[in-house]
Amino acid sequence: MKISGNTILVTGGGSGIGRALAEALHAKGNKVVIAGRREAVLDAVTANNPGMESMLLDIQEAADIAAFAQRAAERFPSLNAVINNAGIMKPENVPAADNLAIAEETVATNLLGPIRLTTALLPHLLKQPRAAVLTVSSGLAFVPLAATPTYSATKAAIHSWSIGLREQLKGTSVEVIEIAPPYVQTELLGPHQAVDPAAMPLADFITEVMTILETQPEATEVIVERCKPLRFAEATGTFGQVFAALNAQRT
């Protein structure tokens, strides 16, 4: 991926990994547009990053996504990259049967949202000389966290979908890049996660991601060192041990 000179849409760009990626890419000389549901949060980010712009988007609403994609293409004709970052992560108690609403919301946000948005934007992206679709999966796509089974499943699905999309777009101007974060200091699971010493500092994660994007322009997966034990657990024959350790630590 070309690291500068792009017009990039970042969903979930108001906080966490989305905001940090948006700010890092903005600093590299890209035109960055952040999207999310909370206008005040988006406004705070753009106020701190002159030149960055924002658009409201409810990633759970199919009709809103189609209309949003049309507006984005019209407002930013040079748009040539989208980072599908918006996501939610909530614990579920399946035996207690209180999980269904969480599961459905998670699938709508983490899986259907990126699929719908990418599909809506692809006709525009395919017209660009060089374009990219970036998906944000997770280390939990490869070794699931039992407490968040639907989250883990949606991230595994995003990984698989990214591979299939990459193959279908082979030979076009659009590349597909998957970013798989480990456990990072954000508020995805709540304020405690942002200060959890077991989580990777957000700044360190972003620095490593940007280094990979900049030094490995042909990379199809961005896997930081902290995520490699999860990403390659199956291949190295350590899945059982990694799964047990992960779920013991996070219970």
Q: Catalytic residue numbers?
A: 151
Q: Residue 222 CA to chain centroid, in angstroms?
A: 11
- Nearest in space to 102 (alpha carbons), one of 114, 116, 88, 112: 88
Q: Are 180 and 129 in contact (CB under 8 A)?
A: no
Determine the number of helices (DSSP H) and then strands (DSSP E) in the chain. Answer: 10, 7
Q: Residue 84, SS3?
A: strand
Tokens of 70: 């049309």
Q: Are 195 and 184 in contact (CB under 8 A)?
A: no
N- to C-terminal Cα distance for the chain?
38
Q: Distance (Å, rounded) from C-alpha 81 to C-alpha 109?
A: 20
Q: Are 96 and 147 in contact (CB under 8 A)?
A: no
| Cβ burial 18-44 (10 Å sphere, 16+ → b, else e) | bbbbbbbbbebebbbbbbbbeeeebee
8: which strand partners? 32, 81
Element (H, E) at 81: strand 81-84
Tokens of 122: 């692809």
